[in-house]
Amino acid sequence: MLINISIEGLLYFGAISLSLIGLFGLLVSNNVFRMLLALVMFEAGANLILVLSGFRENGIAPIFLADYSGAIMNDPVPQALVLTAIVIGVGIQALALALILRVKKHYKSLDMRVIRSKLEHEIATQANVEPPGSHHAPKQIVRAGEHQ
Amino acid sequence: MNHLILLVVLPLLSAFIIPVVAKHSLTISRLIGPVVLVFILALVVLSWNSVGSNGFAIFLGGFLPPVGIVFYIDHFSLMLSGLIAGMLLIVWPWNSYVAPRQYSLYMLLTAASFGLVLSADLFNLYVFYELLAVATYGLIARQKNPAAAVAALRYLFVSATGSAMLLLGIAIIYTLTGTLNIAHLATMTDQLHGLAGLSAFALIVIGAGVKAEMFLLNTWVPEVYSTIETPLAALLAGLISKLATVLIIRVLLMLFQQSEVLQMLLVVGVFGVISGEMVAWRAKDMLRMLSFSSIAQLGMIFIAFSIAGEVGLWIGLAMMLHHLLVKGGLFLLADKMQGSFDNLRGYAKRSAMAVAIFIIFILSLLGIPPFPGFWIKLMLILNLAEQNNTLYHYAIGFILLATVIEAAYLFKLVRYLFQDEEAATIVSTPKSLTFWYAQIFALVLLVSLAFISPISNRLKDMASQVANPDIYINTILPSHLSGGNP
Amino acid sequence: MSFVEIISELVLMPLIAFVVGLMMVLMMRKISARLQRRIGPPFFQPIYDIVKLYGKDTQVSHGLIHDIGIVMAVGGYIGAEILLPVPGMEGIADKGGIITLSYFLMIPSLGMALGVGQCANPNGSIGISRALTAMLAYDIPFIIVVFGAAWHYESTSLIGMIEYQQANAWGIIEMPFLAIAGLFALQGMLGKQPFEIYIAPAEIATGPMVEMSGKYMGGLFVMQTFQLYTAGVLYASLFLGGGESWLDLLPKAFLVVAIPMSIAFLFPRYKTEDLIRILWKWPVMLALIGLAFIL
Amino acid sequence: MTKFASLLFIAGLAFFLMVVTGLLPLGNSPMLIGNAILDSAKEQVGAANVVTSVVLAYRGLDTLGELSILFAAASAVGLLLTKSSFNKPSKNPTNTEESDSGFVAINGIDLIFPLLLVVGMYIISHGHLTPGGGFQGGVVLAIAFAMRSIVRPRGKSIDHGVVTFIEAFAGLSFIVIGLVALYTQGHFLQPMLDQGHFGSLWSAGTIPLLYLAVGLKVGAELAGLILALNTDEVNI
Amino acid sequence: MNLLDQFFVIVAVALISIAMLRNIKVNSIVSTLWYVLMVVMLARMSSVAYNADTITSAFSIELLGFRMYWKFTALSWFFSIITVVSALASSLFMSGDWGKQYRQQGGNYGLLQLALILNVVSMLILLASGDLLSLFIGWEFVSWASFLMMVLMPSKTAKKAAVKYVIYAIVGAMALLAALAMVYASSGSLDFTQITDAFIQMTDNMKFGFVLLFFIGFAIKMGLLPFHLWQAVAYAETPGPGAAFLGAISSRMGLFTILVVIVQFIGLGNLEEMNIALPYLNMKSLLAWIAALTTIIPTYIALQQHDAKRLLAWHGVGQGGYMLLGIMMYDSIGSAGGLMHVLNHASYQAALFLTVVAVVYRTGTSDLNKLGGLVTQMPLTFLVMLIGIIGLAGLPPMNGFVSKWMVYRSLLVNGEPLLFVAAVLGTLGTILSVYKLIHNTFLGQLRVEHQQVREVPWSMMVPMLGLSVIVFITGFMPGLILPWIASIQETIGLPVVTYHLGGIEYAKGGLDMIWVSGILFYGFGVGALIFYFLGGKAKRIHQYDNYAGGHFLSSEVKYHYSNNFYPGLMHLIGNWYRGSFKWMENVIVSALSFVSKLFENMYRSRQPVMLLVLVAVVALFSIYKNYSGAGS
């Protein structure tokens, strides 16, 4: 199936590659802004796959122009859907950007590891407990039956 | 009946106009939301009887399905709508200073919730799901606590990735079948039950699972719930997670009701239960404990839904309602009893009422007779035992183990509450509205005890209605019983 | 069984036991004397001792429980000895069996313990704690022996056991291991060397015996006569076929009592721990081997 | 380690996605709704651009939802980046001069600005006839304002109140059109009004009006977003 | 409305009245009267106990497809009368001066009364249960009612113990729930009779699981090995008479359910057929061994205690073993002994706890190292304790002897030498430890601070004396109780014992307690005759007037030998107290803790999207695996 290289096969391959490259970037980067960019790529890939589903061989754009002669039209629905999806993506990205700005402002860092630990620390401080995963030795050895 | 679309439209409308109105009168802008919610609640109650046992379909724009978007309304979705409206009224930010746009976000959240409950179109569901997500991010990030921004950001990454996967799943389904209407899809399940269709379903479940606090997709839960205001946490844990679950269940019931799928749901549920309870056991502060416990409860709901047929459905519904009451109540209570266990030492002396309510809630959560939680857990376990599959039997063991761990940490906290010496840092909070709500929740829980039979019958009716794809298809696609082209 | 018979048994049995017990005490003292190359006391020495003790002027009581302790000690053995079937007087014996009897044998210990406890003498308490520990030690082999016997004779009634032995063979022939273990237990039960650590505080001029003055000590002497009698007859009934007549029974009983006496004065005294250790090791092992043979 | 694991996962995911897409009917999918819409769009909606019919008529609610998402995002961004939500004032008045963009850029933008507005409005108003429409046009409009604010970071390129008003008004009008349809025709967002001559500017009933609302809304939201993000000068 | 309905109405009204009158002074008298009324009602229902009848309540609940109903059988009646009488004694005990002192010390007396009646009510609900579901609900009620009782004590230890108890109780409840699920899975119903059917249908492995689940559930309540750790501390750390009540009967609810479920409906015969390892070890003998070990280990733990309440509570755990051991012998006298031991144990345990509470009432402590010599100050309390410990140690002529005798007899008949030795070992340990109790409390030297101590008032004396009368009477004439036992045996399908007023009729060695007691008292009489009528009159001297190793004991230097009472024994067996069970408990907790740490770190993931991708890959992989063969 993949060997039979057709135009739509290539398109699909490209779309999937795009989204997976985005996903890979999302996984390996620690910089939050890069993660956002990777997310944008991933969403773009997903949108591509969506819009490809309306692709027809030899199809034309689904617009009834004056000289329309009954040619095969591409599916209008995915185009409409992807329009929506793109705008949704834009909204989310803008929001993420704003969040990144705010995080940067407050924590002076964009490294996910740093802000994660600062977040945990802050939560723990607010609740007045030790942050989870702190590598201090346990304060006291808990004897039998004292757990509950 | 077409006016039930107002459930979605009115909140959107009010969300749009609130910022403008606020420029002229803050007071009016504050009142718009509650007024709309009350109106919707009334609408839901009034239309309860006019919705028959077959449900009712709204064809948006007058386009007959499957081309247009369809809303499907039955008692189940009406009940959920009522709960949404009620819950939002309860967590509505009355007394704190709130920017008008935050009210807008609340109203958008409302609209999205209604849309999620009512819509019968895959892509439309996606849109509402995203609206819900964006409104949630906004509300989380808006908290006074700067840590909330980080939590929201981390949540956003997971959730947006999930959403993209959901979109991918929808794209695959559309390519495969050429339609998005769930009822229409339900008439061609044979096409969906292949590798591609199931993969698409898996992607959809992963996307929706992020909000449904599914195992491994729920890492955001503790961070978010411990940074936001407790009423909002009550809303998210109590209601929003359930809506995502409902989305999964709808798709599952209509399109992918296969034993393998159900078993995967079961496994996910079991892991959720075990992991949630175990980590909650380690928690040293109230909110963290509650959020992990919430993960576990959601896992339990998944386990319930993994039982094929009506039985699983109605037990799952009952668990959802119970969890809404209990976990919502606990989070509302946590508004008063926040902080580490150490801070809560001797709290029983300070507020006996709060502790009493807390104990009622946790007893019901643990499934101690005669509280409603017991009956639900009993039905769950008995019905799991009836399944002809050892996987389900193992699940019983895990549920029981989880209950023990749950008891361990809840009563550890109770011990702190009843300790004699009071914590020095204990904060005395004035009687707040949330506390009253928590009391009301507890009262509802106790009163429901007297109505176990009628409630369970009603839920069974709903379940039989929801579980039957034929009713759904008949109502939405009157002419396409056996599939075919529109 | 008529009322008269019951009454006569109830009256006669303690009397017989007392007389026989006195002779056993005498025998004990004679044996010890002979082993120590002495002549030993005259025939009536035991009764003289008792009369002397009862006749004393200085009699100190620490309170009611002190008295009751002695009463319980004596009474427990009297009860036990009434439950023992002896030739011609088997009427009451079948009202309780071997289990009841072994429980009766614990009552004197408890009575002594109560009485001494009331004395408030710390060394007395030490003695009691040792005595009770010793009881724990010797009762284990004893109870295995009892179990074996009861299982073998298929009865818990001593009368049934004796009948069985008289019809078949003596227990000591059929169950030699159990019989030996029983002797060990007997040694402990009688509190003879090497198992007499609980008397030890008495030797450093204090302890239980010291607080017992006059008739208290006399009570204990009386108790000893009953104890020896009970032990001898019980063992004889369990392993030596009881007695068809007194002429038959008494020699057996005396023989049984003589064995521990003879051993006793050859040994030093064990510490409490060692006492438990040895009693839980050898007799228990023997008894279990014996059990394995008969089960 | 993380990278290796990620690579492994991604490779696995790639494999499965390839397999799945390989199973899909590429290029000749069933497009059941697509065909039905292509068959009936002309009569039912009357817009030459079928995509527009889908966006505004068949799936009008999606569009409304999407507008709401934009609105939500804009609201949230606005809430997040208002000064009150920051701990300390970040404005540093000394760098006003440095960040000005120079004569060419400023005047060039000023020159293009009305042109962009016109193009945007054109795209919006011809959305039902040609490729394009409210979203695309709205983005052009937003960009027009955004460019102005980029070259004049300190200048007041657009009034916040106006943006708020426009977005509220646009959203309101979209919904009101839908509601009017609900109470006159019986269904929310049902096409109303005379469909006019197919293919002309004044055709397809309410579609152009809706698209206008969408365009304004998108434009206002995006402009608002860009403004909000631009007011803060955090270096990433 | 039949008698049972009336009874329950009275119980309900009692509960309401006690709850309402919580803070009113007459409450204590009123609540005692309620218990009296309950006893009267039970007496009116005595036909159940004598004729093995069943009274079924007209009241039933139909819920979620289950019908729950309640009924009284001989078994329920037997346990109910013990419950109510224990409650009556406790209530009477606390109604007078004890309650006053409790209030003065800051205790919530009304709440204590409420906890007591709640315990009684929940136990009655459990005892009357007519099907598995109502049994489970009653079971949970009992658990939580006793929890309420336990948390009333303000001490930290008490809270800790109570919370530990909750966890154990939940483990038990969950095991029970699993067993219920097994019944339901194979029959679709939760009637008692379905247990039998379900059991027969199961495979061998399932049978083990089934029996063990039920047994674990019940054993935890009863504190059988290896679930004995929670009970003693929890019961001991309960306010005064509450401890007496709980110690007397609460944990016996586990025995009741074992009798109903395992003995009556699964059937001991069936257990016997379940072979575990060697031909000698089947399910029944396994349970018997558990029982035997339960008699030994807790008893020797009790021997170590230096707190009177804990010592008694540990004995309570240990005595449970005799009951189960007797029942597991599956013959007429063994089971009769086991059943009778419930009543006997309840009576002397309640009496003993009450005496300890009385001592605490006067002296303020139950630490055995800080007491001593109280016999001169509190002679009646001493008497009650003496009777109690004779019962507990199982010496004639008290009732403890009768039931233990029956158990021993049955072990003898069945040829179980090792079990027999185990049981005797338990008894001997008990004797040692109860002597320590009475010696360190009442004998030895009186401490200076206790010289003003007086006998407790009558409101406390009466229940104590009443209980000791029961201990004696039922020992003297076990035939009063044995008809009830016989009915129970008939009801639950055990061989029925032949009895007469004095005891047991049994070929080759029965028991006649009237004779035994008679002989013993005759012996005592002769002893007293010898002691008092021969020889002169003894002179009563002061306690300190004795002689110890060269120096006289003055009142300034107290030399009361109490700490480490059995040094020799402890030297020998002390090494065996390794806390293995605590260690096991700890291992489980640590293992769970380790797993939970893993999960916690998962939730702290730096890159949560990774988990999402992982899920996607796994999900797609499993789907691919399922479908790749079949194609699409």
pLDDT digits (tens, 9 = 90+) for E465-510: 999 999 999 888 888 888 898 888 888 888 888 888 888 887 777 7
- Taking contacts as CB-CB distances below 8 angstroms, the residues of chain D near E614 are 9
How many angstroms away from the CA of D37 is the closest CA of chain B?
7
Give the burial class of A96: count Cβ atoms within 10 A of its Cβ; 0-12 exposed, 13-18 middle, 19 or more buried. buried
- Taking contacts as CB-CB distances below 8 angstroms, the residues of chain D near A56 are 27-28, 31
Alpha helices in chain C (DSSP H): 3-35, 45-55, 64-82, 98-104, 107-119, 122-153, 158-167, 171-174, 176-190, 200-203, 208-211, 215-239, 246-264, 272-294
Q: Residues 6 or more apart from E589 whose CB is under 8 A from it?
A: A147
User: B137 with A95: CB under 8 angstroms?
Assistant: yes
How many angstroms away from the CA of B136 is the closest CA of chain A?
11
Query: If you count residue pairs, one on A and one on D, with CB atoms under 8 Å apart, how many are there?
Result: 165
Q: Please state the domain extents for chain C.
A: 3-42+61-294
pLDDT at E595 over 70: yes
Contact across the interface for B108 and D71, Cβ inside 8 Å: yes
Q: State the pLDDT confidence band at B113, using cuts at 50, 70 and 90.
A: very high
Distance of CA D116 to the CA centre of its chain: 16
Contact across the interface for A96 and B147, Cβ inside 8 Å: no
Which tokens hold the place of E319? Answer: 């005595």
pLDDT in tens, C273-286: 888 888 888 888 88
Which tokens hold the place of B118? Answer: 């009512």
- Mean pLDDT, chain E, as a whole number? 86
CA atoms of B466 and B482, how far apart (whole Å)? 19
Question: CA triplet D211, D214, D220: central angle to 5 degrees?
Answer: 140
B157, B168, B226 member nearest A39 (Cβ): B157
CA atoms of B306 and B262, how far apart (whole Å)? 5
Contact across the interface for C156 and E412, Cβ inside 8 Å: yes
User: E84 with E42: CB under 8 angstroms?
Assistant: yes
Which tokens hold the place of D157? Answer: 């390129």
- Mean pLDDT, chain B, as a whole number? 85
One DSSP character per residue, E168-187 reads HHHHHHHHHHHHHHHHHHHH
- Taking contacts as CB-CB distances below 8 angstroms, the residues of chain B near A47 are 167
CA atoms of E54 and E77, how far apart (whole Å)? 10
Contact across the interface for B127 and A118, Cβ inside 8 Å: no
Q: State the pLDDT confidence band at B353, using cuts at 50, 70 and 90.
A: confident
Contact across the interface for A143 and E586, Cβ inside 8 Å: yes
CA atoms of E443 and D9, how far apart (whole Å)? 78
Contact across the interface for C114 and E438, Cβ inside 8 Å: yes
Distance of CA E579 to the CA centre of its chain: 22
Which tokens hold the place of E323? Answer: 């009951």
pLDDT in tens, E73-126: 888 999 999 999 999 999 888 888 888 888 888 888 888 888 889 999 999 999
- CB of B406 within 8 Å of a chain A CB? The answer is no
Strand partners, E540: C61
Contact across the interface for D13 and E624, Cβ inside 8 Å: no
Q: Stretch B32-42: mean pLDDT, rounded?
A: 90
pLDDT in tens, E39-58: 998 888 888 888 878 888 88
C–D contact (≥3 CB pairs within 8 Å)? no
User: E471 with E391: CB under 8 angstroms?
Assistant: yes
What's residue A147's pLDDT?
A: 44
Closest CA to E24 of E110, E111, E113: E110
Range of weakest confidence among B144-153, B450-459, E121-130: B144-153
- Taking contacts as CB-CB distances below 8 angstroms, the residues of chain D near B137 are 76
Residue written as tokens 């439209």?
Answer: B9
Q: Stretch E566-586: mean pLDDT, rounded?
A: 83
Domain that holds residue B96: 2-476
Q: Is residue A95, in this structure, part of any structural domain at all? A: yes
Provide the number of structural domains found in chain B.
1
What's residue C125's pLDDT?
A: 80
Contact across the interface for B278 and E151, Cβ inside 8 Å: no
CA atoms of E352 and E385, how far apart (whole Å)? 6
- Taking contacts as CB-CB distances below 8 angstroms, the residues of chain B near A115 are 150, 153
CA atoms of E179 and E201, how far apart (whole Å)? 14
Q: Stretch B385-408: mean pLDDT, rounded?
A: 89
How many angstroms away from the CA of E96 is the closest CA of chain C?
29
- Mean pLDDT, chain C, as a whole number? 83
Contact across the interface for E530 and C275, Cβ inside 8 Å: no
Q: How would you classify the pairing of strands E503-504 and E511-512?
A: antiparallel
Range of weakest confidence among B50-59, B450-459, D24-33, E174-183: D24-33
C61, C99, C114 member nearest E408 (Cβ): C99
- Taking contacts as CB-CB distances below 8 angstroms, the residues of chain D near B19 are 75, 164, 167-168
**HEC secondary structure over E486-508:** HHHHHHCCCCCCCEECCEECCCC
- CB of B210 within 8 Å of a chain E CB? The answer is yes
Three-class SS state of E67: strand
Q: Is residue A64, in this structure, part of any structural domain at all? A: no
Torsion of CA A112, A118, A122, A125, to 10 degrees: 140
Residue of B nearest to E621 (CA): B199
Closest CA to C172 of C138, C145, C143, C144: C145
Q: Residues 6 or more apart from E609 whose CB is under 8 A from it?
A: A23, A26, A27, B157, B158, B161
pLDDT in tens, B151-202: 888 899 999 999 999 999 998 888 888 888 888 888 888 888 888 888 888 8
How many angstroms away from the CA of E338 is the closest CA of chain A?
31
Alpha helices in E45-94 (DSSP H): 47-51, 74-93
Which tokens hold the place of B216? Answer: 């491994």
Q: Stretch E195-218: mean pLDDT, rounded?
A: 86
pLDDT at C227 over 70: yes
Q: Mutation test of the interface with chain B: which of E133, E599, E601, E611, choosing the one with the most B Cβ atoms within 10 A?
A: E599
Q: Which of residues E536 and E74 earns the better pLDDT score?
A: E74
Contact across the interface for E185 and B382, Cβ inside 8 Å: yes
- Taking contacts as CB-CB distances below 8 angstroms, the residues of chain E near D2 are 607, 610
CA atoms of E465 and E467, how far apart (whole Å)? 5
Domain that holds residue D141: 47-81+102-230
Q: Is residue B486, in this structure, part of any structural domain at all? A: no
What's residue E551's pLDDT?
A: 58
A27, A75, A91 member nearest D6 (Cβ): A27
Range of weakest confidence among C249-263, D216-230, E383-397: D216-230
What's residue B270's pLDDT?
A: 92
E166, E585, E604 member nearest A133 (Cβ): E604
What's residue E282's pLDDT?
A: 84
pLDDT in tens, E337-367: 899 999 999 999 999 999 999 999 888 888 8
Question: CA triplet B345, B348, B354: central angle to 5 degrees?
Answer: 115
What's residue E466's pLDDT?
A: 92
Residue B59 one-letter amino acid: F
User: Angle at which helices A32-52 and A76-107 pack, to 10 degrees?
Assistant: 180
How many angstroms away from the CA of E562 is the closest CA of chain C?
8
pLDDT at B481 over 50: no
Whether the CA torsion D45, D51, D54, D60 is positive or negative: it is: negative
* ipTM metric: 0.85
Q: Stretch B83-110: mean pLDDT, rounded?
A: 84
Establish how many alpha carbons lie within 13 A of residue D164's alpha carbon, considering only the half-sphere containing its beta carbon. Answer: 18
Q: What percent of chain B has pLDDT over 90?
A: 13
Q: State the pLDDT confidence band at C1, using cuts at 50, 70 and 90.
A: low
Range of weakest confidence among A23-32, B268-277, C21-30, E276-285: E276-285
Q: Residues 6 or more apart from A63 whose CB is under 8 A from it?
A: D48, D49, D50, D51, D129, D130, D131
Q: Is residue A37, in this structure, part of any structural domain at all? A: yes
What's residue B480's pLDDT?
A: 53
Contact across the interface for D23 and E632, Cβ inside 8 Å: yes
A23, A120, A145 member nearest E582 (Cβ): A145
Range of weakest confidence among B52-66, B162-176, E292-306: B52-66
- Taking contacts as CB-CB distances below 8 angstroms, the residues of chain C near E526 are 14, 74-75, 78
Residue of B nearest to E189 (CA): B382
Q: What percent of chain E has pLDDT over 70?
A: 97
Q: Mutation test of the interface with chain D: which of E605, E610, E613, E625, choosing the one with the most D Cβ atoms within 10 A?
A: E613
CA atoms of B320 and B303, how far apart (whole Å)? 12
User: C76 with E520: CB under 8 angstroms?
Assistant: yes
pLDDT in tens, A68-98: 777 788 888 888 889 889 989 988 998 898 8
pLDDT in tens, E502-527: 888 877 777 888 888 888 888 888 88
pLDDT at B76 over 70: yes
Q: Is residue D182, in this structure, part of any structural domain at all? A: yes
Q: What percent of chain B has pLDDT over 70?
A: 95
Residue E457: asked if its preceding bond is cis (omega within 30°), the reply is no
Q: Chains that contact E by 3+ CB pairs under 8 Å?
A: A, B, C, D
Contact across the interface for D2 and E624, Cβ inside 8 Å: no
CA atoms of D222 and D230, how far apart (whole Å)? 12
Q: Stretch E395-408: mean pLDDT, rounded?
A: 87
Q: Which of residues B439 and C210 earns the better pLDDT score?
A: B439
Residue written as tokens 């859907």?
Answer: A81
Closest CA to E290 of E235, E228, E349: E228
Range of weakest confidence among C90-99, C129-138, D78-87: D78-87
Q: State the pLDDT confidence band at C208, using cuts at 50, 70 and 90.
A: low
D20, D44, D164 member nearest B63 (Cβ): D44
Three-class SS state of E599: helix
Residue written as tokens 């009336």?
Answer: E6
pLDDT at A144 over 50: no
What's residue D154's pLDDT?
A: 62
Count of Cβ atoms closer than 10 Å to residue E388 Cβ: 30
* E355: enclosing H helix or E strand: helix E332-363
What's residue D197's pLDDT?
A: 72
Q: Residues 6 or more apart from B118 whose CB is under 8 A from it?
A: B4, B7, B8, B58, B71, B72, B73, B77, B81
Q: Stretch E116-145: mean pLDDT, rounded?
A: 90
pLDDT at B96 over 70: no
pLDDT at A134 over 70: no
Provide the number of structural domains found in chain D.
1
Q: State the pLDDT confidence band at E5, using cuts at 50, 70 and 90.
A: confident
Q: Residues 6 or more apart from B110 whose CB is under 8 A from it?
A: B11, B36, B37, B84, B85, B88
- Taking contacts as CB-CB distances below 8 angstroms, the residues of chain B near E63 are 375, 452-453
Ranges of chain D whose pLDDT falls below 50:
84-98, 234-236
Torsion of CA B311, B313, B315, B318, to 10 degrees: -140
- Taking contacts as CB-CB distances below 8 angstroms, the residues of chain D near B477 are none
What's residue B386's pLDDT?
A: 86
